[in-house]
Amino acid sequence: MFHLFKHRKANDIIKEQFDNIEKEINTLTKRHKSFDLIRTGAFIDLIENNLDRFKKELDEFAEEEKEFIGFRPAFDAVINDTVIKAKVLADDLKKSLSAYKNDLKSEPRDEDRIAILQLIGEEEAKFKALGDSYRKSREEELRKFTAENMAKSTTSGPIGDTEGVAWRDIEKIIRQSGGSIESARGHSWTISFPGEPRKIPLSEDITINRLAAQIAAQLRHMYPTKRINTRQLITAFAQGDLALT
pLDDT tens-digit series, residues 195-226: 888 888 887 778 889 989 999 888 888 877 77
Q: Are residues 135 and 25 in the same domain?
A: yes
Q: Are residues 204 and 130 in the same domain?
A: no
Within 8 A by CB and 6+ apart from 20, the residues are 43
Q: Are residues 73 and 193 in the same domain?
A: no
pLDDT tens-digit series, residues 81-96: 999 999 999 999 999 9
Structural domain including 57 reads 9-150
Point out the domain boundary residue: 101, 129, 150: 150
Q: How far is CA 160 from the centre of its chain?
A: 32
Does residue 92 fall inside a structural domain?
yes
Tell me what pLDDT residue 47 has.
94
pLDDT tens-digit series, residues 27-55: 887 766 778 888 889 999 999 999 999 99
> Quick check: helix, strand or coil at residue 217?
helix
> Quick check: helix, strand or coil at residue 183?
strand
Tell me what pLDDT residue 185 has.
66
Return left, alpha or beta for 160; rule: phi > 0 is left, psi -120 to 50 is alpha, else beta: left
Q: If we measure between CA atoms, which residue out of 217, 221, 216, 190 comes closest to residue 203?
A: 190
Tell me what pLDDT residue 106 has.
85
Q: Is the pLDDT of residue 153 over 70?
A: no
Q: Across all residues in the chain, what is the average pLDDT?
A: 84
Higher pLDDT among residues 158 and 205, named by residue? 205
Q: Is the pLDDT of residue 157 over 60?
A: no
pLDDT tens-digit series, residues 103-150: 888 877 888 888 999 999 899 999 999 999 999 999 899 888 877 776
Q: Are residues 107 and 172 in the same domain?
A: no
Half-sphere exposure at residue 113, Cβ-oriented, CA atoms within 13 angstroms: 24
How many domains does the structure of the chain reveal?
2
Task: Determine the Cα–Cα distance for residues 173 and 233; give it in Å rounded to an integer.
Answer: 8
Q: Secondary structure of 90-102 in the HEC alphabet?
A: HHHHHHHHHHHHH
Q: Are residues 135 and 54 in the same domain?
A: yes
Point out the domain boundary residue: 91, 115, 150: 150
Q: pTM of the prediction?
A: 0.73
Task: Determine the Cα–Cα distance for residues 194 and 121; give it in Å rounded to an integer.
Answer: 50
Q: Are residues 132 and 237 in the same domain?
A: no
Within 8 A by CB and 6+ apart from 218, the residues are 179, 191, 193, 196, 198, 200
pLDDT tens-digit series, residues 170-182: 888 888 888 888 7
Q: Are residues 195 and 145 in the same domain?
A: no
Q: Are residues 143 and 207 in the same domain?
A: no
Q: Are residues 184 and 104 in the same domain?
A: no
Tell me what pLDDT residue 145 has.
80
Does residue 2 fall inside a structural domain?
no
Point out the domain boundary residue: 125, 150, 175: 150
Q: Are residues 128 and 182 in the same domain?
A: no
Largest CA distance in the chain: 84
Q: Is the pLDDT of residue 155 over 90?
A: no
